[in-house]
Structure 1
Amino acid sequence: MSDHGARSPERIALLGGVYSNYLALEAVIADAREQGATKIYCLGDLGAFGPFPDRAIEILRKHQIETVRGNYDDSIGRGLADCQCGYTDERDNHFARLSYEYTFKNTSATSREFLRSLPPEIRFEVHGVRVLLCHGSPRKMNEFVWESTSSTHFLEYLARQHAADVVCTTHTGIAWQRTLSEGRLWLNVGAIGRPPNDGLTSILYALLDFFPKTMPTARATLRRVAYDHERLAVEMRAEQLPEEFIETILTGWWTTCLEILPAKERSRGRH
Structure 2
Amino acid sequence: MEKSIKNIGLLKGKVLVFGGVYSNLQALEAIKNLAFADGIFPENIICTGDIVAYCAQPKECIELIKNWGIHCIAGNVELNLVNDIDDCGCNFEDGSRCDIFSRQWYPYLKSQVSDDDVNWLSTIPEFISFTYADKNVAVIHGSYFNTSEFIFKSTDWETKEQNFKALNADVILAGHCGLPFADSLKDKVWLNPGVIGMPANDGTPRVWYAILDDSDGFNFEICALDYDYKTTANLMVGKTLPQTYKETLETGIWDNWEILPEQEKGLQGKSIKV
Deviation at 1:161, TM superposition (A): 2.9
Q: State the AA in 2 paired with 1:53.
A: P
Find the partner of 2:197 among 184, 193, 197: 193
Q: Is structure 2 residue 44 aligned with structure 1 residue 45?
A: no
Does residue 93 of structure 1 match 2:92? no
Pairs within 5 Å for 1:67-78: 67-78=72-83
Query: 173, 176, 181: which one pairs with 2:181?
Result: 176
Which amino acid letter does the alignment assign opposite residue 110 of structure 2?
F
Q: Which amino acid aligns with 2:40?
A: A
User: What is the SS of the residue equivalent to 1:238?
Assistant: coil
Q: Which residue of 2 aligns with 1:207?
A: 211
The 1-side partners of 2:196 and 2:133 are apart by: 28
Counterpart code for 1:98 = Q
In structure 1, what is the equivalent of residue 131 of structure 2? Answer: 125
Any idea what SS the aligned residue of 2:237 has? helix
Deviations 1:52-92 (A, max 9, x none): 21111111011101110110001112210211113226221
Consecutive unaligned residues in structure 2, runs of 5 or more: 1-11, 270-274
Give the SS at the match of 1:10: coil
Which residue does the alignment assign to 2:116? Answer: 110
The separation in 1 between residues aligned to 2:76 and 2:240, in whole angstroms, is: 24
Q: Equivalent residues in 2 for 1:9-28 (5 A)?
A: 10-28=13-31
Question: What secondary structure, in the 3-state scheme, does the structure 2 residue paired with 1:179 have?
Answer: strand
Read off the aligned partner of 1:92 and give its amino acid letter. C
Superposed displacement of residue 239, structure 1: 2.4
Aligned residues: 255
Q: What is the SS of the residue equivalent to 2:34?
A: helix
Segments of structure 1 that go 5 or more residues without pairing to the other structure are 1-8
Query: Residue 7 of structure 2 aligns with which residue?
Result: none
Over the matched positions of the two proteins, sequence identity in percent amounts to 32
2:266 and 2:208 map into 1 onto residues whose CA distance is: 20
Cα pair 1:68 1:118 within 8 Å, conserved: yes
Shift of 1:141: 0.9
Distance 1:154 1:245 in 2: 30
Q: Deviation per CA, 1:142-198, whole angstroms, max 9, x where unpaired?
A: 1111111322x442342133101110100001010122312x211012111100000
Q: What is the CA–CA distance in structure 2 between the aligned matches of 1:23 and 1:34, rounded to whole Å?
A: 16
- Deviation at residue 238 of structure 1 after TM alignment: 3.5
> How far apart, in 2, do the equivalents of 1:233 and 1:70 lie?
23
Provide the TM-score with structure 1 as the length reference: 0.89
Shift of 1:120: 0.7
What CA distance in whole angstroms lies between the structure 2 residues aligned with 1:125 and 1:27? 27
CA deviations over 1:176-227 (Å, ceiling 9, x no partner): 0122312x2110121111000001101101111124xx6xx42221111111
Change (3 A) 1:133 1:98: same
Matched AA of 2:203: G
Q: Secondary structure at the match of 1:120?
A: coil
Q: What amino acid does structure 2 have at the position aligned with 1:234? A: N
- What letter is aligned with 1:233? A
SS in 1 for 2:122: helix
More displaced, 241-250 or 84-93?
Answer: 84-93
Is residue 156–residue 181 contact of structure 1 (8 Å, CA) maintained in 2? no
Aligned to 1:60: 65
Alpha-carbon distance in 2 for matches of 1:91, 1:155: 28
2:108 and 2:240 in contact (8 A); partners too: no
Q: Residue type matched to 1:30 in 2?
A: N
Instruction: Report the 3-state secondary structure (helix = DSSP H, G, I; strand = E; otherwise coil) of the residue aligned with 2:14.
Output: strand
In structure 1, how many angstroms separate the alpha carbons of the residues matched to 2:223 and 2:34?
Answer: 9
Query: Contact between 2:24 and 2:61, CA under 8 Å: does it hold in 1?
Result: yes
The amino acid of 1:63's aligned partner reads W
